[in-house]
Amino acid sequence: MSRVALVTGGMGGLGEAICIKLAALGYKVVTTYSPGNKTWKEWLDSMNKMGFGFRAYPCDVANFDSAKACVEQVAKEVGVVDVLVNNAGITRDMTFKKMDKVNWDAVMSTNLDSTFNMTKQVCDGMLDRGWGRIINISSVNGQKGAFGQTNYSAAKAGMHGFTKALALEVARKGVTVNTISPGYIGTKMVMAIPTDVLDSKIIPQIPMGRLGKPEEVAGLVAYLASDEAAFLTGANIAINGGQHMH
């Protein structure tokens, strides 16, 4: 029986690389898309033409009822979720002086509340079966802070607090909970940063002198999802080219 992996926000960027890697390792891969996303069908068709066999379901990860309905549908049509990757996230960058409640709430609900909303749907089943993997995708900026990202940094740091507390609760039951904190990865979100800013401000801070590749983070997710990673829990693994060490 191949295991079922659910990756939130799996269309494009890091999520897509994670989906591809897990599919290559034999997982049945399911991803979510925002209910307003008009291009999900094209993405799914193009991926499945390459033989990945992905399934995709609408889910507003910031909404508990939507998360519940999504996971129930996945359980019915694909199977119970063995691996959950909480990857969906947004940025609404601005200085704290300019930040309003709307942009604070949007980032907190999509990046942090979503972690509760999705994990709540799958955790009990993992405990009952005695096996499960919960992998939370945070950020280097949750570890070190970033100018103009009080909302994002708070949400991403909060994810790891969640990881540590839940890891303690489920450790004896064969379920692991871990955080990955990527640095600057060459995804659309990062490539949207003006080239001169990347070249003058960001790349010089990375000792390796380059952006990370989505596939490099996906490889780490694959390891955490594996049987070999059974003794690793409650960790926050930095994958940032040496940009931030702690």
- To the nearest 10°, report the CA torsion of 149, 151, 154, 160: -100
Residue in the block written with tokens 């359980």: 75
**pLDDT tens digits for 67-116?**
999 999 999 999 999 999 999 999 999 999 999 999 999 999 999 999 99
Question: Is 152 a residue of the active site?
Answer: yes
pLDDT at 188 over 90: no
| Active-site residue (options: 33, 152, 184, 223) | 152
* Amino acid at residue number 243: Q
Query: Is pLDDT of 189 > 90?
Result: no
| The two structure tokens encoding residue 214 | 């989505």
CATH number of 4-239: 3.40.50.720
pTM of the model: 0.97
- Which residues have a Cβ under 8 Å from the Cβ of 198 and sit 6 or more positions away? 190, 211
